[in-house]
Structure 1
Amino acid sequence: MTLPTSIKCIIFDMDGVVIDSEEIHKKAYFETFNFINVDVTEELYKTFTGSSTLNAFQKLVAHFQLDIDPEELVLEKRQRYVNYFENDPALHLVHGVKELIEKAYQQGITLILASSSAMENINRVFNRFQLNDFFKAKISGADLKASKPHPEIFEKAASLSGFSKENCVVIEDSDNGIQAANDAGIFVFGFRNPLAADQTLEKADLIIDDFSQIYTYL
């Protein structure tokens, strides 16, 4: 995709882009895997990154041919995640993202959050770090029919922005999310988060290591 000559909307992924929560998500997932006595390899876990929790557990149940309701596993994992979220004082925003959010907002750029996380987790993050005032809309992939890498979430985000896809950009740190943006026909920055080093970002339109690299395009 070609970078828009005029960026009117930035669509943010949340985990790994707005908040450094990949590690606590991983801990919560693996505690749940241990709870049901399945041995999940790093390679298999990598395929879950960027997907909704329900979609991840649907894949897990199918892979191991388990006689377990994936929705029950979602609740198990969510309980563990919330415990980490509320009790880990080191949890923080990704370095530089607050500055990018504030700068884009001040320039009149519309901001949309498009995350595979459940809305209660999105609200938990936005309330804790006081982000609500900056964003026009928040979308949870858990409320949609399909999960990333399906493009539905980004198509909806572009629609809610009120601008054409040609004036929107996505910021993603996962290969599933990047694929979703590709299929939605929206330019995507691949953010290289050190905590998601297993993601190749190879299909991103432009790879960045620091959010300040986006400033020049605003």
Structure 2
Amino acid sequence: MIKAVIFDMDGIIIDSELEYLKMELEFARTKNPQVQLEDLFGMVGSSREDAWSCMARAVHNGQTWQQLRDEFRASVDVYAQMDYRRIFRKEIPGILDRLQEMGLRLALASSTGLPIIHRVLTENNIHHYFEEIVSGAQFKRSKPDPEIYHYTAKKLNLPENQCLAVEDSTFGVTAAYRAGMHIAALYDSRFHFDQSLADFQIKQLEEVVEIVRQLQQD
């Protein structure tokens, strides 16, 4: 019996991943003009260290991931440039309404830092839907480590197998799988994510509602 749905944010609530990657690619090419967008796909859905380690491998110029991240943050204010209303998935409020009407508890578990999570949810008027909001920045290791999902389930006082995670990235799907959760993975042809560990692959987020119905009947 599914009792909670736990949403990722980037790529699910907001279509942000390509927007971030474009800015990161522009920065990477100042270090190494040969870097391709595909070289940075490992940054999507991962923790700060994992993401910028991917950048370090891509530019391969001797700088550490910390040095690259600090330089990027000093020169590019990514979050100030983002219009989170523009990239918000408009179908989300209706989906959250329907899940609540079905008696589901809702949570969010994102690798993004809490200030940005709160900004996204507040600017799009969906903060009130989520009983628990968890950031990967709270842990030594975020996705694909399962700790963020174990912690979120514990906060909900539910066993992991009563939770459905809605994810997209390889790291996110892997984290939910390792935590023992059911997984609905939103397909995205742009990034070639490995979603083979997911129970369901969906093309539209609205499919989550029907998946919950199906799981509640099992």
TM over 0.5: yes
Contact 1:57 1:74 in 2 (8 A): no
Runs of 4 or more off by more than 6 Å in structure 1? Answer: none
Aligned counterpart in structure 1 of residue 67 of structure 2, from 66, 69, 87: 69
Q: Summarize the Cα distance change of 1:73–1:139 in structure 2 as closer, same or farther, 3 Å threshold.
A: farther
Residue 41 (str. 1) matches residue 46 (str. 2): no
Residue 203 (str. 1) matches residue 201 (str. 2): no
- Structure 1, gaps ≥5 residues long: 1-5
Letter of the structure 2 residue corresponding to residue 200 of structure 1: D
Q: Summarize the Cα distance change of 1:61–1:159 in structure 2 as closer, same or farther, 3 Å threshold.
A: same
Contact 2:38 2:191 in 1 (8 A): no
Letter of the structure 1 residue corresponding to residue 82 of structure 2: F
Instruction: Provide the identity percentage.
Output: 26
Aligned equivalent of 2:207: 213
Aligned counterpart in structure 2 of residue 187 of structure 1, from 144, 164, 182: 182
Letter of the structure 1 residue corresponding to residue 204 of structure 2: D
Residues in 2 aligned to 1:211 and 1:131: alpha-carbon distance in whole angstroms = 16
Residues in 2 aligned to 1:137 and 1:127: alpha-carbon distance in whole angstroms = 14
Residue 147 (str. 1) matches residue 145 (str. 2): no
- Structure 2, gaps ≥5 residues long: 214-218
Residues in 1 aligned to 2:34 and 2:137: alpha-carbon distance in whole angstroms = 25
Residue 80 (str. 1) matches residue 77 (str. 2): yes
Letter of the structure 1 residue corresponding to residue 67 of structure 2: D
Residue 128 (str. 1) matches residue 126 (str. 2): no
Structure number with greater CO (CA < 8 Å, separation at least 6) is 1
Contact 1:178 1:188 in 2 (8 A): yes
Q: CA RMSD in A?
A: 2.3
Q: Summarize the Cα distance change of 1:33–1:116 in structure 2 as closer, same or farther, 3 Å threshold.
A: same
Deviation at 1:45, TM superposition (A): 1.0
Aligned equivalent of 1:158: 153
Deviations for 1:120-154, whole angstroms, at most 9, x for unmatched residues? 21111011101111001111112211021111111
- Provide the TM-score with structure 2 as the length reference: 0.84
Deviations for 1:161-209, whole angstroms, at most 9, x for unmatched residues? 1111111010001111111111111111111135x44223222111011
